A = this chain, B = another copy of it.
Amino acid sequence: MRIIDFRNGLEPERLSLLVRQHSDEARKWEERVRSIVTDVAQRKDEALFAYTRQFDGVQIGSETVRVTREEIAEAVRQVDPELIAVMRRALEKIRHFHERQKQNSWFESNPDGSMVGQKITPLDSVGVYVPGGKAAYPSSVLMNLVPAKVAGVPRIVMATPPGKDGKGNPVTLAAADLAGATEIYKVGGAQAIAALAFGTESIPRVCKITGPGNRYVALAKKAVYGTVSIDSIAGPSEICILADGEASPRYVAADLLSQAEHDELAASILVTTSMELAQNVLLEIQAFTRTLSRKEIIQQSLENQGKIFVVRTLCEAIEMANEIAPEHLEILTKNPFEVMTKIRNAGAIFLGAYSSEPLGDYYAGPNHVLPTSGTAKFFSPLSVDDFVKKSSILYYSREALQSVHTDIIRFAESEGLTAHANSIRVRFPEEKNETGEGADENN
């Protein structure tokens, strides 16, 4: 973690280099993932199970790939009932928030007999990827399944890699059961994404794939985009804390560390107007790190991606946050609401001293699947919108079309599209001679 002094002025070019270190390995990984995806698309189950053997070290077949009701019941029995109660309370908060995101179909009608509108329909099916292996991520399960459920998606599939024992993680399964998954498959990695996108003999294809994952999963999602929809491509997690001299260095340090523990590539960034805070945060980080269980990951993450930017003014700090477009933005300033109004680019914005980032990861209700790597400039948090699609509705009566048909014909002809013009003209045969059917000469 180091302090970088921007008090002589912002340099956006330099900032962008500092915030995200990209590697040139990307292309090599893309090729590997692409070959897995293509293989599963072609050889289906056969390839899917072969990769599961190779990457997860587990023998799965068409009879065992889908988690049974009994396995779920067994998983639920294995989980601490207190944790289930916590998950249930979190689920309620998350559901409540997402219910607010639901949009209505709407239409507008006019006395001339015309109507236009927008129809909202849940996706037929969705595949939610949940990382697995050693750790369980029940919060990911809730955050992905709940909006799909709220949207009304009838077929909600979860894929999660099996452990060495060939079973799904009990906590993950219990959370999926709580949140209403309709099918669960024990597959992971790029091969799981390919199976969801193209379908195999055992896993019927889905319309959209969401959920976090490692680099294999992220690149596989990119590769299948278009065949299915995806949420957004998740990169390493990141936090940006925007703090003035009044912020508690202890809180700032603890919150930066909570991000750093995710993985070695996670980015923890402090943007502050106070060099004193910057220095105190460094001291607090050293003290905390010693006591934390994931200190190796934290130290690597802070060394690679941890940054403290000191700037002259709050205005510049805000500008910098907008440039960084962080996944998580904590505002620890005198008037956090005021600052928030000026933030254009951030996945989730946490206001004030008691809204630390883990509140959003687990509990408050807003989704924790957020745009990373600066994509908050154009992507949004996962939401109910991700699990519906819209259709435009158009109805015109003869009278309504009559009043605008010459305009439409004129417009179509300006684009040289005479069959378009003809499709309108044929409805008004009494005008045939006036406007000239076919209008060959018009192109």
The interface of chain A, by Cβ under 8 A from chain B, is: 80, 82-83, 86-87, 89-90, 97, 100-101, 103, 106, 108, 114-116, 118-119, 121, 123-124, 135-139, 171, 207-208, 222, 225-226, 228-229, 233, 250-251, 254-255, 257-258, 260-262, 288, 291-294, 298, 336-337, 340, 343-367, 370-371, 375-381, 383, 385, 389-398, 400-401, 404, 407-408, 410-412, 414-424, 426-427, 437-440, 442-443
Contacts and interface: CB of A to CB of B under 8 A. Distances in A.
Which of A83, A251, A345, A415 counts the most chain B CB atoms within 10 A?
A415
B391 A377 contact: no
Contacts of A340: 119, 393
A390 B394 contact: no
Contacts of A376: 389, 391
A394 B366 contact: yes
A179 to B, nearest CB: 14
A299 to B, nearest CB: 12
Contacts of A352: 395-397
A418 B171 CA distance: 17
A78 to B, nearest CB: 13
B381 A414 contact: no
Question: What are the 8 closest A-B residue pairs judged by CB atoms, nearest first?
Answer: A291-B438, A366-B392, A229-B378, A380-B390, A261-B419, A348-B392, A258-B423, A293-B443
A422 B291 CA distance: 10
Contacts of A90: 407, 411
A411 B362 contact: yes
A410 B336 CA distance: 28
A86 B411 contact: yes
A359 B390 contact: no
Contact of A363 (B351, B379, B404): B404
A436 B115 CA distance: 63
A394 B292 contact: no
A390 B383 contact: yes
A358 B385 CA distance: 28
Nearest to A386: B378
